Amino acid sequence: MKKKLPVLGIVVAIVIGLAVFNHFRPERLTAQTLDKAEKVQKKIDQENKASAPEAKPAEPKPENAAAPAPAPAEAKDPNVLKVKFECSNGTFVVECRRDWAPLGFDRFKELVTAKFYDGARFFRVVPGFVVQFGIAADPSVNGKWRTNCIKDDPVKKSNVSGTITFATSGANTRTTQLFVNLGNNVQLDGMGFTPFGKVIQGMEVVKAISSKYGESPIQSEIEAKGNAYLEQSFPELDYIKTATILN
């Protein structure tokens, strides 16, 4: 009997130990536990979906949707004209304004568009006073314009340095010849000389135009013979390569 008690105690201890072990050991990842976990996850997903705000479906884009219209281009002012003169000694730009002298403005635009000044020489240069040009390189071109005079514009702007003005031989005789004022020639205002624009870039180029021959070239010879006369007698005159409208 005494021997049976220790054995019974040992058996009881083993049974209790197994019960405690089974209670506290982690659950194994069996097929049953995986299935249980999947069901729990589905339930959580359903609850989250029910509580989330309903998402609005994206609006479909039309297949042939037109591209957004480009911003409108800035309107050009027809009453302002910019002309670039590319010359043998550099480049300068003149800005002309119709409100200064509308008839002169329109004639100048017409001449530049016709390429009248391309190749023309600066045949009269008086330092501190004026640079004069406007007789075509081809004498046959001069003949087309010689009698095509425009009426005078009233003088609204003074002949200050840098302004550009039509030359004239009297009332209403403006044709093609121009000059750029190299100084403040206000005395010309009272004589009817009407500026229609001003050099806005490259005035240093205008002032550097060669004055080697001064006023020696004879205008009637230039009109009759063109550049052939000037190239033979005054080969170092500066000249206009091209005159181009910028706007």
3-state class (DSSP) for residue 144: helix
Residue with the two structure tokens 């004026």: 130
pTM of the prediction?
0.70
Percentage of the chain surpassing pLDDT 70? Answer: 70
Q: What is the DSSP letter of 241?
A: E
Does pLDDT of 12 surpass 70?
A: no
Beta strand spans in the chain (E): 80-87, 90-97, 124-126, 130-133, 163-166, 178-181, 195-201, 240-245
- Which homologous superfamily is 80-245 in? Cyclophilin-like (2.40.100.10)
- The residue ranking higher by pLDDT, 48 or 106, is 106
Encode pLDDT of 168-177 as tens digits: 999 999 999 9
Predicted local confidence at residue 234, as pLDDT: 98
Tokens of 127: 């330092």
Q: What is the pLDDT of residues 189-241, one digit of tens each?
A: 999 999 999 999 999 999 999 999 999 999 999 999 999 999 999 999 999 99
**Residue 73, CA distances (Å) to 67, 78, 80, 246 in order:** 17, 15, 17, 16
Q: Is the predicted pLDDT of residue 102 greater than 60, yes or no?
A: yes
Q: What is the pLDDT of residue 22?
A: 42
Q: How confident is the model at residue 247, as a pLDDT?
A: 86
